[in-house]
Amino acid sequence: MFKKSLCLLAFLTATLLPLAALAPPAYAHGFGERYDLPLPLTYFVFAGAAAVVLSFVVVGLFVRGQHEGSGYPRVNLLAAPVVDAILTGPVTWLLRAASLFLFFLVIATGLFGSERPVNNLTPTFVWIIWWVGMGFVVSLLGNLWAVVNPWKILFGLAEAVFHRFNPEWELTLGMDYAERVGVWPSVALFFAFVWVENALPEAAAPALLAWLIIAYSIVTLGGMYLFGKHQWLRHGEVFTVIYGFLTRFSITEVRANDAEVCDECAGPLCRDESGGEDRSCVDCYECFEYAGDRELNLRPPAIGLHSLGSMPVGLTALVLLVLSTVTFDGFSDTPEWAAALGWALSLTPQLTSPYFNGLVIANTLGLALFPLAFAGIYWGFSAMMRWVVERSGGSSPAAPELMTAFVFSLVPIALAYHFAHYLGFLLIQGQLIIPLASDPFGNGADLFGTAGYVVNIAITNARFIWIFAVISIVVGHIIAVYLAHLRANAIYGGGSVALKSQLPMLALMVIYTVASLWIISRPITE
């Protein structure tokens, strides 16, 4: 039955995509050109909302019963000895060596290279290749970050050296990490990261970025030393935590089938699927690293998000923060926000510091208010879900518990908007890495003969990016509806109660579909 439901999801995606062709006038991010289609915005909004509603109807009719996260088809790539030897041997070591080289190079170019961002490797690599590009790779293909995380590699090397001279000791103070703290350090660090990206005027300054990387390195390596490498990676290394749940959308997973190893883990994204002797941890690279019986599987996309039950409050907050800040990033490109920034500047003419002025204040308030608004709206619809269930004669967890249970069904929406907003940016601005590979410091070098490369803006066009954005948002919401329905079946046992419980979630998905389409339809002001 579960395979049939997966086929149904694929069918829905394929049959509803033509609705995305109904597009309004819009600007494509990063193109500076207007792309007009003959139909007005309202037609397109209604078409997108109708696609989401239709998906709800079809899923409700054909997806029945409870589906456990472990019940999906998988193909273990490590079953082939040659693949196992390649993926767990030379490829891994080459990736780690390349990661360390780039890590130190990015710091060096930031500190000692050209002060012009366009001529320096650091801003392009950090904001385009790494942050945007890694998001695409991790969510579509698998958790590459778990392999190339430079702070994890550095600390691992330090551990190896330390153990050589002190075999009986661990390179950590072994301080207890309070369970109630959870991933809240990652929440705080991610907010600081997006504040730098969206509110700090000098976010592209190479030297500033290099010093911020150094500061984050001190925090990360210090956290590993105080609490242990894996303890801090699971809770405090923000990108490990974020990429850890984004990779649940991808077509690959790692699985550790070793109860003895998994019992020592208890990471926030691990899943005890059996409840007994044969516990498995999914997408937990800590357990995968040490387990004797392990798998690297191909799996259906997005289904890894259903293999997670209720999440800790901190992790729920982090998912909502990711969703809300990527939305704010898109909203900040609209003329409406440009007008708000102009108003903020008019109110604060006396603030002339580059780090404290009307623009910084307005963007900081926007970054703070968007997550609060998202959390409030999500709580309201979760409370409505409980009310609908109880009015239908069923029993339901409280709204905060429902928020933690359904939050991972929102991840496809965050990813869809990430894809829609950043694809053009990645394809066009990402080409800067070609000349910068030959001249990373911006001092006139030409190591590989590519320093004279000129960015080709014709590599894609506004029409393609616009249609891609539309399809991403609509399909992302359809997948979210499907995952929310599976979660409702698991909580309420299927049947009419589970279906009715999803009416508030459907309304939430439709509202966010409309809002997302409105945002990407607005003229881009950059």
Give the pLDDT of residue 335.
85
Q: CA-CA distances (angstroms) from residue 486 to 56, 63, 270, 498?
A: 12, 8, 19, 9
Nearest to 307 by CA among 344, 346, 255: 255
State residue 26's pLDDT score. 35
Per-residue model confidence (pLDDT) at position 430: 92
Spatial distance between the Cα atoms of 488 and 174, rounded to a whole number of angstroms: 40
The per-residue pLDDT for 36 is 52
Low-confidence ranges of the chain (pLDDT < 50): 1-35, 37-38, 69, 272-277, 524-526
Q: Are residues 61 and 189 in the same domain?
A: no
Please report whether residue 258 resides in a domain.
Answer: no
Query: Which residue, 186, 221, 251, sits at the end of a domain?
Result: 251
Same domain, residue pair 128 and 145:
yes
In a domain, 145, yes or no: yes
Strand partners, 254: 296
Q: Are residues 233 and 369 in the same domain?
A: no
The token duo for 205 is: 């300054």
Instruction: Determine, yes or no, domain membership for 449.
Output: yes
Q: Residues with Cβ < 8 Å from 1, sequence gap 6 or more?
A: 64, 65, 67
Q: Which helix (H) or strand (E) element contains residue 232?
A: helix 229-235
3-state SS, residue 245:
helix
Domain range enclosing 116: 75-251
In a domain, 292, yes or no: no
Residues 232, 123, single domain; the answer is yes
Task: Determine the distance from the C-alpha atom of residue 173 to the mean position of all C-alpha atoms in its chain, rounded to a whole number.
Answer: 32
SS3 322: helix
Together in a domain, 126 and 84: yes
In a domain, 144, yes or no: yes
What was the pLDDT predicted at 494? 74
Q: How far apart are the first and last CA of the chain?
A: 49
Q: What is the pLDDT of residue 85?
A: 72
Q: Are residues 38 and 169 in the same domain?
A: no
In this predicted structure, what is the pLDDT of residue 493?
Answer: 82
Chain segment 114-169, per-residue pLDDT in tens: 999 999 999 999 999 999 999 999 999 999 999 999 999 999 999 989 888 887 78
| 107 and 138 share one domain | yes
State the DSSP H helix or E strand holding residue 230, giving kind and residue range, or none if neither: helix 229-235
Number of domains observed in the structure of the chain: 2
Buried b (16+ CB within 10 A) or exposed e, 357-367: bbbbbbbeebb
On whether both 7 and 156 belong to a single domain, the answer is: no
d(CA 306, CA 300): 11
Alpha-carbon distance 20 to 452, whole Å? 39
Structural contact between residues 478 and 486, judged by C-beta atoms closer than 8 angstroms = no
Q: Check whether residue 197 and residue 321 sit in a common domain.
A: no
Residues 56 and 151 in one domain: no
